[in-house]
């Protein structure tokens, strides 16, 4: 044992020695990383062709953009394309790190803390972790929009940005530091044929009446579920669908005054879930599982009336999985199977949206600027164009009307109500309904005050215990007790 | 009679053995087939039935989507090859060398040194990674492939394996006769010991190549520049688009990631299967 | 005087050949590990914790806290249960396959192919494997449930992923499935290291396959077997990526292993580094104790004998080399 100790202490001395050695080698590496940056700049200049064409006066400043998808970097490229003057002065260096295994936030945190030339100038945050950067531990790195040369308050008023989005993007001292381009306020997206069969009409107003739209409670919704059950239908696919609505309609978030707070609306979810399961009001699927998608094309156990979700759920999820895309058997010049829309199969066109019983939002991306950036003005121009410009030249107009990417003309719901009002939100998928009417209401209903930076973990723990209760594996009391214990031991928040 | 009985016994033995082997083969190949099939299917098809044995027609489209990303798959491929090959070489060469030091020489700190290697081998890795990446950031040693390669020099598990393997199979007499022939210690190691360790080295080379090739967490945190990304990082990037993941492309990426390992494995497995080394040396 | 110098000159190489390992080890393993160990005695918490922390008044506060946590106890139990469920079939199958593939009396055709194929599950990343199995056991519809319903074994689907014991079994099975090939290859390479002379001798003596395996292969495989046991134990008690990717330690903490627990302490949003570090140290002590027991059991007969043999061999070697060199000098 003595020997081991002496070895350890000898090693410890050596360690401090090698640590010094490491410092010299890091300087060497610093220079090498500079050269690689230069190489990278060439690459990104290629990517933005517009930037290259206008390359006149040689030196350009680099704006570092950090993101977890290629959506925002694509928008920045588009901005450069549309603004040759800007592209002549700046070029973009994109850092794209996925959130798959939670690698994005640690890397972003380190890069913000390290500062310097390679630090992010413009960075993105997703709904799951945005609060950390706008109100939490890292909020002191976010520059207020007003310091970027943006007249925030006036522009927010003019664009009529969804209030929940502003609430989330406001830091503790009351300055707006982050805004998004999408609005992810939720609607109830339902099947017309099933509504007609069960309620006698597929009109949104009639369905709204049947499910108690805007009532703030679930009584009418469960009455409707009973009606649907009588006709052999389920009202929703899985309890996860209900959870998204419940979560964001509650009055308070999970953490209040540094203690775990179980909002009565969220607590009620455990009973709602049990009721759905025991009465067979749902197909008991898991969100993003095979069976969940099967319900979208009407191949589940029972027909499902609808899903709770924002506009992106229509575009990217239900629209793609509605089962109406048929392979023609022919191939194009590339040997690709040509697919065509066949409305005689699947559920395309059989959908509509209406206001849900409670207001909620789901997902979204916020854009922030580093307070230490020396290119705030330039970043401000990009942010302004993406998040606040409510004219037909702004990003949001293109985004809402499907003209952003001609190859992929999907219409999405954007943050600015002004833009939505002048856009056309009619979709064939929805049988010609204008989705904007419903989503404008949905965006207004949504509440950004009940998020916390710990939601991802706490939500998972809560839904896990709810499933244990609905599956009949433990009692309601035990489920709640175990949930509290989990949060207390993993996140160090005692229950109230 | 006895002869008949024996052959009947060996007959049943063969049936059982082949049945087990074929079952295990199916179990082992199954995920690769799923990956390959899914690489040819569209995202919507995969979302509807994650597992299917019927190929789709989307291979070309998945590839074009993969190639049109903001990153260059070939850069990732090159980086991964550099990291995995260098790390494997470092691990195998230096671990064998360390094991040789532990087995062939009498030195004072030998026992404590071995105990120490064993002790560190047992520390859970999840948290020392916090220390590691904090240190790398402090030294500004990010966006470099070296922090992914150099730690491979010190692989306690491999040293342990090499030592265990060497103890019964390295005859000291051979070292002696080499010394008599006037070979230096370093030459003895390189020209006599290394060839004898081939099966063990091939085994560990595969393991360390796979580990290094597949590692995602450290590269993701340390490398933030696209031109330093490794293959798994690029695949994770495809997967990270939470609203509209192109699953077919993800599977294609996964399959392409697995291919080089399969090649490396088939190449190295020759040594394991044939067991070249020891018999030859001893005989 | 001369001979003494020569004796030292060989031991010098022991140090020399260990230098690369030691240097890399100090920088990349030991320093971060000691750093972590120290955090266990501090109040290091929160995202900026590692920048600014202090030692606690009661140095073992974090350790006491971790040991009193229900979640930690559960995770410890899970780790052991899942490891045992996976390890016993794994080592049994690996030994069986090793016996078959190295058997001299009963050649199996295509064994080269099988050896290559059985290792393949180990090639894919744990994340991919976990997604695959998640899809297999999907509820209410998925390949396994479709099979159960179509064969009439069940009327409705079974929610494998929401129930505790099935989830544990699935995780243990994945672990078994990914690692038996690896274990087999290690054992085979160990057998290939045994001198063929011994087997020839056995064959001449008329030993059958089973006898050869138990009388010759196993005893000669002991050092490699010890390696397998210890690394499986260490790997098993550190089991992380499969339970993490399969269901994030769920349902209801049924597949929460100690490593997943540690990760969650550190990275769930509160950055409780100090407790994570303390839990790591506790796990380290547990693993070290278990390994020590293994070493002891495996050591008591064979290892000591081996050590002695080596020492003897070395002495002889030393003597021989001295002799040789002396001769040479003469």
The SS3 assignment for A170 reads strand
**Residue B42 included in any domain:** yes
Q: Are residues A116 and A222 in the same domain?
A: no
Residue C96, domain member (yes or no): yes
C221/B164 Cα distance (integer angstroms): 9
A245 & A166 share domain:
no
In a domain, residue A198? The reply is yes
Given this model, what pLDDT does residue C115 score? 83
- A483 lies in some domain: yes
Residue A438's contacts (CB-CB under 8 Å, 6 or more residues apart) are A187, A204, A353, A354, A355
| Higher pLDDT among residues A315 and A277, named by residue | A277
Q: Please check whether residues B41 and B158 belong to one and the same domain.
A: no
Same domain, A157 and A202: no
- Overall number of domains in chain C: 1
Same domain, B27 and B140: no
> Which candidate from A467, A491, A492 shows the least CB-CB separation from C162?
A467
Tell me, yes or no, whether C200 lies in a domain: yes
Verify that B26 and B110 share a domain, yes or no.
no
Are the beta carbons of B24 and C114 separated by less than 8 Å?
Answer: yes
Contact C252, A465 (CB under 8 A): yes
Could you list the beta-strand ranges (E) of A337-450.
337-341, 351-354, 365-369, 426-427, 433-434
A395-405 pLDDT per residue, tens: 999 999 988 88
Q: Do B105 and B28 have their domain in common?
A: no
Asked if residue C251 has a cis previous peptide bond (ω within 30° of 0), the answer is: yes
C142: closest chain A residue by CA: A290
**Domain co-membership, A330 together with A392:** no
Which segments of A343-420 are extended strands (E)?
351-354, 365-369
Is B33 inside any structural domain? yes
Whether residues B118 and C291 touch (CB distance < 8 A) is answered with yes
Residues B208 and B105 in one domain: yes
The C-alpha of B42 sits at a distance from chain A's nearest C-alpha, in angstroms, of 11
Domain annotation covers residue A81? yes
- The answer to whether residues A199 and A155 belong to one domain is no
* Domain boundary residue, one of B196, B212, B237: B237
Strand A255-256 to A306-309 pairing: unpaired
A33, B241: Cβ pair inside 8 Å? no
The HSE-up count of residue C302 (CA atoms within 13 Å, CB side) is 15
Per-residue pLDDT tens over the stretch C237-250: 888 888 988 888 87
Neighbours of chain B (3+ CB pairs under 8 A): A, C
In this model, does residue C220 exceed pLDDT 90?
no
What is the percentage of chain A residues whose pLDDT exceeds 70?
A: 85
Q: Identify the weakest region by mean pLDDT among A58-67, A303-312, A443-452, B269-278.
A: B269-278
A149 within a domain of the structure (yes/no): yes
Clarify whether residues A232 and A292 are in a common domain. Answer: yes
Answer yes or no: do B146 and B213 share one domain. Answer: yes
- Both B36 and B77 in one domain: the answer is no
Contact pairs from chain B to chain C, CB under 8 Å: 291
Structural domain includes residue C289: yes
Q: Are residues A338 and A469 in the same domain?
A: yes
Q: How far is CA B9 from the centre of its chain?
A: 39
Nearby residues of A84 by Cβ (< 8 Å), 6 or more positions away = A50, A53, A54
Q: Which residue from B71, B137, B241 is facing A110, i.e. has the nearest CB?
A: B137
Query: What average pLDDT does range A312-330 have in this prediction?
Result: 79
Residue C321 domain flag: yes
In a domain, B243, yes or no: no
Chain C positions touching A474 (Cβ under 8 A) are: 252
Structural domain of residue A78, as residue ranges?
A: 48-184+362-422
Of A422, A437, A467, which residue is a domain's last?
Answer: A422
pLDDT tier, B244 (very low <50, low <70, confident <90, very high otherwise): low
For residue A494, the tally of other CB atoms under 10 A from its CB is: 11
Domain region containing C247: 61-329
Partners of B141 on chain A (C-beta within 8 Å) are 22, 25-26, 29
Residue C330: pLDDT over 50: no
For the ranges A91-95, B133-137, C5-9, the one whose mean pLDDT is highest: A91-95
Among C80, C160, C134, residue whose Cα is nearest residue C242 = C134
Q: Do B140 and A321 touch (CB under 8 A)?
A: no
Burial of A258 (0-12, 13-18, 19+ CB in 10 A): exposed
Q: How far is CA A220 from CA A225, A251, B220, in A?
A: 9, 20, 48
Average model confidence (pLDDT) across chain B: 80
Q: In percent, how much of chain A has pLDDT > 90?
A: 51
Distance from CA of C112 to the nearest CA of A (A): 37
The answer to whether position A481 is within a domain reads yes
The answer to the question of residue B162 being in a domain is yes
Its pTM surpasses 0.80: yes
Query: Are A279 and A329 contacting, i.e. CB atoms less than 8 angstroms apart?
Result: no
SS3 A65: strand
Q: What is the pLDDT of residue A222?
A: 95
B164 and B226 share one domain: yes
Q: Count how many residues are written for chain C.
A: 330
Considering the domain architecture, whether residues A196 and A326 belong to the same structural domain is answered as yes
Counting the structural domains of chain A, the total is: 2
Q: How many inter-chain contacts (A to C, CB under 8 Å) are there?
A: 95
Query: Is residue C3 within 8 Å of residue C319, measured between CB atoms?
Result: no
Residues of B whose CB is below 8 A from A28: none
pLDDT-based confidence at residue C306 (cuts at 50, 70, 90): low
pLDDT of residue C195: 74
Q: Is residue B258 part of a domain?
A: no
CATH of the domain at B170: 1.10.3720.10
Q: Domain total for chain B?
A: 2
Contact, B87 vs A332, CB < 8 A? no
Residues B166, B79, single domain; the answer is: yes
Q: Are residues B42 and B139 in the same domain?
A: no
d(CA C195, CA C191): 9
Q: Name the residue range of residue B145's domain.
A: 72-237
What value does the mean pLDDT take over residues A218-228?
94
- Boundary (domain end) residue, out of B65, B80, B102: B65
Q: Give the gap in angstroms from C-alpha B241 to the nearest C-alpha of chain C.
A: 16
pLDDT band at B273 (very low <50, low <70, confident <90, very high): low
Q: Are residues A176 and A263 in the same domain?
A: no
Is residue A305 included in any domain, yes or no?
Answer: yes
Q: What is the ipTM of this complex?
A: 0.81
Cβ of A486 within 8 Å of Cβ of C253? The answer is yes
CATH of the domain at C171: 1.10.3720.10
Residue C34 lies in a domain: no
Q: Which of B237, B252, B276 is the last residue of a domain?
A: B237
* Full DSSP string of C190-255: HHHTS-HHHHHHHHHTT--HHHHIIIIIHHHTHHHHHHHHHHHHHHHHT--HHHHHHHTT-STTTT
B14 and B124 co-located in one domain: no
Q: Is residue A325 located within the same domain as residue A373?
A: no
Residue B52 and residue B94 in one domain: no
pLDDT score for A8:
37
**Within-domain flag for B108:** yes
Nearest CA in chain B to C278: B127
Q: Is A9 within a domain?
A: no
Under 8 Å CB-to-CB from B2, ≥6 apart: which residues?
Answer: none
Asked if A47 lies within 8 A of B244 by C-beta distance, the reply is no
- CA-based nearest residue to A349, from A424, A437, A428: A428
Query: Cβ of B265 and C123 within 8 Å?
Result: yes
Q: Do A49 and A92 form a contact (C-beta atoms < 8 A)? A: no
- Is C14 part of a structural domain of the chain? no
Flag whether B99 is in a domain.
yes
- At A432, phi and psi to the nearest 5? 85, 5
CA dist C147 → A107, B53, C144, C172 (Å): 44, 15, 5, 22
A274 and A303 assigned to the same domain: yes
CA distance A214 to A356: 6
Q: C102 CB contacts (<8 Å, ≥6 apart)?
A: C188, C191, C192, C217
Question: Is residue A426 left, alpha or beta, with left meaning phi > 0 and alpha meaning psi from -120 to 50?
Answer: beta
Dump pLDDT digits (tens) for C43-52.
888 777 777 7
* Whole-angstrom distance, CA of residue C225 vs CA of residue C233: 12
Query: Which pLDDT score, from 0 to 100, does residue A291 have?
Result: 84
Chain B's closest residue to C290, CA to CA, is B122
Residue A22: its pLDDT value, please? Answer: 32
Residue A365, classed as helix, strand or coil, is strand
User: In the 8-state DSSP scheme, what is residue C321?
Assistant: H
C102 in any annotated domain: yes
Mutate to test the interface with C, among B38, B91, B112, B168 (most CBs of C within 10 A): B168
B64 CB-near residues (< 8 Å, 6+ apart) = none
| Mean pLDDT, rounded, of chain C | 82
Q: What is the CATH number of the domain that holds A80?
A: 3.40.190.10
Cβ distance C245 to C130 under 8 Å?
A: yes
Cβ of C114 within 8 Å of Cβ of B21? The answer is yes
Does B57 contact A337 at a Cβ distance shorter than 8 Å? yes
Determine, yes or no, domain membership for B153.
yes
Determine, yes or no, domain membership for A218.
yes
Are residues A321 and A463 both part of a single domain? yes
In a domain, C52, yes or no: no
């Amino acid at each position: 044992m003595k020997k081991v100790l002496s070895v350890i202490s000898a090693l410890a001395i050596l360690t401090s020695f090698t640590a010094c050695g490491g410092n010299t080698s890091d300087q060497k590496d610093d220079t090498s990383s500079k050269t690689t940056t230069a190489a990278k700049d060439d690459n990104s200049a290629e990517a933005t062709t517009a930037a290259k064409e206008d390359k006149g006066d040689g030196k350009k400043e680099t704006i570092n953009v950090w993101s977890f998808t290629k959506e925002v970097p694509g928008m920045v490229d588009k901005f450069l394309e549309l603004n040759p003057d800007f592209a002549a002065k700046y070029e973009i260096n994109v850092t794209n790190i996925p959130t798959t295994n939670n690698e994005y936030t640690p890397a972003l945190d380190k890069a913000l803390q390290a500062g310097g030339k390679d630090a992010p100038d413009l960075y993105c945050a997703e709904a799951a972790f945005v609060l950390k950067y706008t109100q939490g531990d890292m909020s002191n790195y976010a520059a207020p929009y007003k310091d970027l040369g943006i007249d925030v308050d006036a522009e927010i008023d003019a664009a009529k940005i969804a209030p929940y989005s502003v609430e989330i993007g406001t830091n503790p001292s009351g300055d707006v530091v982050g805004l998004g381009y999408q609005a992810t306020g939720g609607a109830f997206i339902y099947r017309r044929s099933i509504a007609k069969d069960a309620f006698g009409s597929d009109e949104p107003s009639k369905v709204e009446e049947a499910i108690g739209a805007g009532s703030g409670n679930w009584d009418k919704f469960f009455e409707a579920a009973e009606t649907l059950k009588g006709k052999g239908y389920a009202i929703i696919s899985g309890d996860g669908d209900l959870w998204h609505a419940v979560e964001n309609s509650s009055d308070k978030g999970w953490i209040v005054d540094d203690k775990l707070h179980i909002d009565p609306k969220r607590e009620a979810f455990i009973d709602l879930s049990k009721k759905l399961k025991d009465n067979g009001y749902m197909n008991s699927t898991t969100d993003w599982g095979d069976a969940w998608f099967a319900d979208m094309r009407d191949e589940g156990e029972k027909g499902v009336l609808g899903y709770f979700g924002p506009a992106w759920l229509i575009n990217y999820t239900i629209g793609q999985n509605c089962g109406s895309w048929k392979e023609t058997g022919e191939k194009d010049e590339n040997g690709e199977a040509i697919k065509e829309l066949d409305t005689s199969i699947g559920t395309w066109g059989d959908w509509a949206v209406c206001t849900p019983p409670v207001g909620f939002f789901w997902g979204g991306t916020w854009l922030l600027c580093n307070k230490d950036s020396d290119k705030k003005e330039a970043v401000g121009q990009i942010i302004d164009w993406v998040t606040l410009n409510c004219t037909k030249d702004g990003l949001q107009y293109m985004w809402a009307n499907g003209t952003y990417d001609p190859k992929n003309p999907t219409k999405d719901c954007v943050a600015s109500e002004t833009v939505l009002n002048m856009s056309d939100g009619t979709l064939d998928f929805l049988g010609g309904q204008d989705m904007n009417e419903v989503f404008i209401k949905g965006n207004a209903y949504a509440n950004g005050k009940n998020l916390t930076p710990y939601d991802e973990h706490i939500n998972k723990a809560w839904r896990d215990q709810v499933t244990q209760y609905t599956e009949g594996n433990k009692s309601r009391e035990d489920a709640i007790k175990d949930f509290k214990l989990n949060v207390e031991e993993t996140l160090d928040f005692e229950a109230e | 009679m006895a002869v008949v009985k024996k052959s009947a016994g060996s007959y049943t033995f063969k049936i059982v053995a082949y049945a087990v082997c074929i079952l295990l083969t199916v179990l082992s190949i199954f995920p690769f087939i799923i990956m390959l099939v899914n690489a040819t299917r569209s995202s919507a098809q995969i979302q509807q039935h994650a597992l299917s044995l019927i190929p789709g027609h989307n291979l070309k489209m998945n590839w074009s989507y993969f190639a049109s990303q903001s990153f260059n798959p070939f850069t990732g491929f090159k980086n991964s090859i550099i990291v995995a090959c260098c790390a494997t070489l470092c691990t195998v060469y230096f671990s064998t060398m360390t094991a040789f030091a532990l087995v062939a020489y009498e030195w004072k700190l030998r026992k404590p040194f071995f105990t120490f290697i064993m002790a560190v081998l047992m520390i859970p890795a999840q948290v020392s990674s916090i220390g590691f990446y904090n240190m790398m950031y402090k030294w500004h040693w990010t966006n470099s492939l070296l922090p992914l390669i150099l730690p491979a020099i010190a692989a306690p598990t491999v040293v342990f394996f090499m030592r265990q393997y060497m103890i019964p199979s390295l005859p000291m007499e051979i070292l002696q006769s080499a010394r008599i022939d006037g070979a230096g210690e370093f030459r003895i190691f390189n020209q006599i010991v290394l060839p004898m360790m081939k099966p063990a080295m091939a085994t560990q080379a595969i393991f360390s190549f796979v580990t290094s090739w597949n590692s995602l967490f450290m590269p993701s945190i340390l490398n933030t520049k696209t031109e330093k990304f490794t293959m798994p990082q690029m695949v994770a990037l495809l997967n990270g688009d939470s609203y509209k993941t192109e699953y077919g492309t993800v599977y294609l990426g996964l399959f392409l990631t697995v291919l080089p390992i399969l090649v490396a494995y088939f190449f190295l497995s020759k040594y394991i299967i044939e067991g070249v080394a020891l018999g030859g040396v001893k005989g | 005087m001369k001979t003494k110098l020569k004796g030292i000159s060989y031991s010098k190489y022991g140090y020399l050949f260990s230098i690369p390992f030691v240097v890399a080890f100090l920088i990349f393993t030991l320093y971060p590990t000691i750093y972590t160990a120290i955090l266990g005695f501090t109040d290091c918490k929160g995202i900026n914790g590692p920048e600014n922390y202090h030692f606690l008044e009661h140095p073992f506060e974090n350790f006491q806290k971790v040991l009193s946590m229900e979640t930690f106890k559960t995770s410890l139990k899970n780790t052991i249960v899942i490891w045992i469920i996976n390890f016993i079939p794994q080592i049994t199958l690996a030994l069986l396959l090793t016996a078959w593939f190295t058997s001299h009396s009963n050649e199996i055709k295509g064994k080269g192919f099988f050896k290559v194929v059985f290792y393949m599950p180990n090639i894919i990343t744990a994340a991919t494997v976990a997604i695959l199995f998640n899809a297999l056991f999907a509820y209410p519809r998925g390949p396994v449930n479709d099979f159960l319903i179509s064969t009439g074994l069940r009327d409705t689907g079974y929610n494998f992923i929401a129930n505790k014991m099935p989830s544990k079994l699935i995780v243990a099975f994945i672990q078994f499935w990914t690692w038996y090939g690896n274990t087999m290859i290690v054992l085979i390479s160990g057998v290939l290291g045994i001198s063929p002379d011994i087997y020839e001798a056995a064959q001449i003596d008329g030993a059958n396959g089973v006898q050869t395996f138990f009388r010759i292969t196993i005893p000669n495989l002991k050092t490699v077997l010890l390696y397998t046991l210890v690394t499986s134990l260490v790997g098993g008690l550190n089991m992380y990526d499969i339970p993490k990717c399969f269901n994030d330690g769920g349902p209801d903490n049924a597949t929460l292993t100690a490593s997943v627990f540690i990760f969650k302490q550190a990275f769930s949003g509160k950055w409780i580094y100090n407790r994570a570090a303390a839990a790591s140290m506790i796990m380290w002590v547990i693993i070290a104790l278990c390994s020590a027991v293994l070493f002891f059991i495996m050591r008591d007969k064979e290892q000591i004998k081996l050590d002695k043999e080596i020492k003897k061999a070395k002495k002889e070697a030393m003597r021989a080399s001295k002799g040789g060199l002396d001769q040479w000098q003469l």
